[in-house]
Structure formats: C-alpha cells, structure tokens
C-alpha cells in the first residue's frame, strides 16, 4: 500500500442530513515519487512507464499517462497480465457558457478578421456543449497547484463506489473503473488574457489603443492586433441530493467576467453572466437535467429552473467559496483560498465571502 497516503478534502453538501461533511480522496504518486525498482518492474513487464501511479492493492495499480489522455491498469502479480486501459475522450455531457473563452462581445469581429463566423453573441450565459480535449497543463501551479497531482482515487459522492478523480489542466474529470467510462466532467477555469509584459510588447507606442485594464489574448496576432477586453471564467461544483429524490446530484455554478475599462474607478473585472447546471446520477453516470438542445446545439435556458438551482445553494448557505475547487495545495499556501478563483479584482461579493 502507499506509505503515508496524502489526502485532500473535498467538501460535499448533503441536503438529507443538512450538513457539510468531508470525503477524502487519496492522491496518486508522480513518477519521481515512485520507487525506481517498481518503475523498472512495470517497464520490464509492459514496456511503458506511467506518468502517475495509484496503488489499488499490493501489486495492482491505476496509472495516468504523462500526457494525461490515457488511464492504464497494471497487475504485477499476474504473470499473464497485459497492458490495458482506457483513452480519455471528451465527456459528451460537459457544458459551458457561450460567452466563455474569447471575449463574447467582440468574438464576431475577431472571427470576421480571421474568416470565421461573424454572428454576434447576444446571450453569453447560453449553455452549449463543451468538447475540449483533456491534457496536462504546462503551468501546473495554476489554480492552487491541484494539477501537480492529477491522479486521485476515492468515493466522491458517498454512493459506495470508487472513482478516479483527475485534475487535467483546468478540467475536473471523474472516471468510473467499474463502468470503464467518464461519469462526470467540467472545465473549472478559462481565460482570454495577455500578461502585462505581453500587452506592453504588442502595443508599444500604441498605448492609446488600450482602453481596458486587461487585454484579450485572442485580439492580437499577425492578422489582427486589437486591444479587446480580456475575459475570465470559473466554475465550482457542489454535491448532494438537492431535490430530495434520493438520487445523487451535482450542481455546477459558472461565472463569467470581463475586464473593466481604464476609465472605471473600480479595478479589475465585472461579472457578465452566471449559469447554474444540474446533473443527476442515473445508472451510474451523471446526466444533464435540462432541456434538449436546439438545432444549433444551444440549450435554451429556463429562468425558473435557474432560480430553483440557485435557490438550492442559497437555502443551504452554499457560497462560492464552499464549492470545489476552493483550497490551494501550493507549498506555503496549503488550505488557503485559490487566488485566481477568489481574486478581489473580480469584485463579485460571492467571490469575496
């Protein structure tokens, strides 16, 4: 078994018992943390090396590839065992707001300059399917260093089944080994923003073009060089039986922000849109509880349903800070709020409490 298993706390809300309780997930090991003799045994038997490894029991392991796109299974006790596993392809039930990513107010201008769709986005919180591929981040200290240990194992929702919980870039992916498939996934961060030194480089001598406090990365390049306002978006998840039907639920709370102008007396970003998404556990997988998508792939939002889902959180005093992810795992910041997701520059009262 893994020595001194490291654990982190995932806060789960239970409406049945009307309290918040903790469930621990065990962290896998990075390749540098795995004993060299074990890596040698795995390589000799399977002709491959894992990027990350979790010991299920003596001699039996789950692995995550170093690219973050494959789960493997090793059984060193079975001399006839061959390499097996599952590819990680985008979960078809993952959704996001249409306004996330490139600044929604000027996306049609950018697309037009690059030969794309010139239809303006009118409702940034419109829900659409999200099919981004999973990958490991290059900058793993982003969002509380969670991606430094992307492979975790445990029971996330108290249904007595064990899942692999993966932090891949800014995606949370829950994989069921029993069902050999992803049962839930959501992207919990996105940004379209240049670093300050990049702004200075792109607009040297043209500072008057920059009217927003933060500039969109998508607006600059060889074919377009415009200082559009930057956007940031984040998501938190909450688990419980929110509608009291004895079925597990996940609520995803999404927030979309846009940079304020330099002329604004307030520094930072302003909240542009929110989205509340309800999933329910059906036949071992979390199913989206919403209207069927229209022909264009967009989901028409039901204002009553949005208010109902938001009311579930409010009724149980579940603020933004109580959703997952919330706590940093970076060295020296353990247990503190993740800076990017609770930044005072976001100016949203729910972010600040």
Q: Chain centroid to CA 287: how far?
A: 17
Residue 20 has a pLDDT of 36
**Model confidence band, residue 6 (pLDDT cutoffs 50, 70, 90):** very low
pLDDT above 90: residue 241: yes
Residue 166 has a pLDDT of 96
97-145: pLDDT as tens digits:
999 999 999 999 999 988 888 999 999 999 999 888 898 887 777 889 9
**How far is Cα 280 from Cα 282, in angstroms, rounded to an integer?**
6
Residues 107 and 169 reside in one and the same domain = no
Residues 117 and 102 reside in one and the same domain = yes
Tell me if 348 sits within 8 A of 253, measured CB to CB.
no
Does residue 137 form part of some domain? no
Residue 275 has a pLDDT of 97
Per-residue pLDDT, averaged over 192-214, amounts to 95
- Helices marked H in 271-315 — which ranges? 303-315
- CB neighbour list of residue 33: distance below 8 Å, 6 or more residues apart: none
- Helices marked H in the chain — which ranges? 36-46, 107-113, 196-202, 303-315
Q: How many domains, the chain?
A: 2
Per-residue pLDDT, averaged over 210-218, amounts to 96
33-66: pLDDT as tens digits:
999 999 999 999 999 999 999 999 999 999 999 9
**How far is Cα 52 from Cα 70, in angstroms, rounded to an integer?**
11
Residues 18 and 165 reside in one and the same domain = yes
Nearest to residue 273, comparing CAs of 190, 217, 211? 190
**How far is Cα 353 from Cα 341, in angstroms, rounded to an integer?**
12
Is the pTM higher than 0.75? The answer reads yes
Residue 15 has a pLDDT of 30
Residues 77 and 121 reside in one and the same domain = no
Residue 268 has a pLDDT of 97
Does residue 47 form part of some domain? yes
Beta-ladder partners of 57 = 60
Residues 74 and 214 reside in one and the same domain = no
Residues 121 and 255 reside in one and the same domain = yes
Does residue 15 form part of some domain? yes
Residues 255 and 322 reside in one and the same domain = yes
Residues 216 and 76 reside in one and the same domain = no
Which strand (E) or helix (H) includes residue 46? helix 36-46
Mean per-residue pLDDT of the chain: 89
- Which residues form the domain of 228? 95-129+188-346
Q: Are strands 52-57 and 60-64 parallel, antiparallel or unpaired?
A: antiparallel
Label residue 117 exposed, middle or buried (CB < 10 Å: 0-12, 13-18, 19+).
exposed
Per-residue pLDDT, averaged over 22-28, amounts to 77
**Model confidence band, residue 25 (pLDDT cutoffs 50, 70, 90):** confident
Residue 295 has a pLDDT of 77
**How far is Cα 32 from Cα 343, in angstroms, rounded to an integer?**
33
Residue 2 has a pLDDT of 35
Residues 252 and 205 reside in one and the same domain = yes
DSSP one-letter code for 81: -
Residues 215 and 109 reside in one and the same domain = yes
Helices then strands, counting H and E runs in the chain, come out as 4, 19
Per-residue pLDDT, averaged over 210-228, amounts to 92
Does residue 165 form part of some domain? yes
**How far is Cα 234 from Cα 341, in angstroms, rounded to an integer?**
7
Residue 12 has a pLDDT of 36
């Amino acid at each position: 078994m893994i020595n001194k298993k490291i654990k982190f706390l995932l806060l789960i809300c239970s409406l049945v018992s009307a309290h918040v309780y903790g469930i621990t997930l065990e962290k896998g090991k990075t390749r540098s943390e795995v004993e060299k003799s074990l890596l040698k045994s795995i390589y000799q038997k399977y002709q491959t090396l894992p990027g990350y490894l979790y010991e299920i029991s003596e001699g039996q392991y789950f692995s995550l590839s170093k690219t973050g796109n494959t789960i493997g299974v090793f059984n060193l006790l079975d001399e006839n065992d061959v390499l097996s596993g599952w590819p990680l392809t985008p979960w078809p039930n993952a959704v996001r707001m249409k306004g996330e990513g490139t600044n929604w107010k000027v996306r049609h201008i950018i697309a037009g300059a690059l030969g794309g769709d010139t239809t303006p986005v009118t409702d940034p919180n419109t829900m659409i399917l999200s099919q981004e591929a999973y990958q490991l981040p290059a900058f793993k200290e982003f969002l509380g260093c969670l991606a430094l240990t992307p492979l975790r194992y445990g029971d996330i929702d108290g249904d007595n089944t064990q899942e692999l919980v993966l932090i891949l870039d800014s995606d949370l992916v829950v994989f069921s080994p029993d069902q050999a498939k992803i049962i839930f996934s959501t992207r919990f961060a996105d940004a379209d923003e240049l670093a300050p030194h990049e702004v200075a480089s792109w607009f040297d001598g043209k500072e008057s073009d920059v009217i927003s406090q933060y500039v969109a990365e998508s607006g600059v390049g060889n074919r377009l060089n415009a200082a559009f306002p930057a956007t940031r978006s984040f998501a938190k998840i909450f688990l419980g039986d929110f509608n009291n039907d004895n079925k597990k639920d996940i609520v995803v709370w999404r927030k979309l922000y846009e940079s304020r102008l330099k002329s604004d007396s307030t520094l930072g970003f302003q909240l542009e849109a929110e989205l509340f998404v309800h999933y329910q556990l059906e036949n071992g997988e979390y199913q989206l509880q919403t209207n069927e998508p229209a022909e264009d792939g967009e989901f028409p939002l039901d204002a009553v349903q949005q208010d109902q889902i938001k009311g579930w959180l409010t009724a149980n005093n579940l603020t933004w800070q109580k959703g997952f992810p919330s706590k940093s795992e970076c060295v020296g910041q353990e247990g503190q709020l993740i800076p990017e997701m609770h930044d005072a520059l976001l100016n949203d009262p729910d972010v600040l409490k």
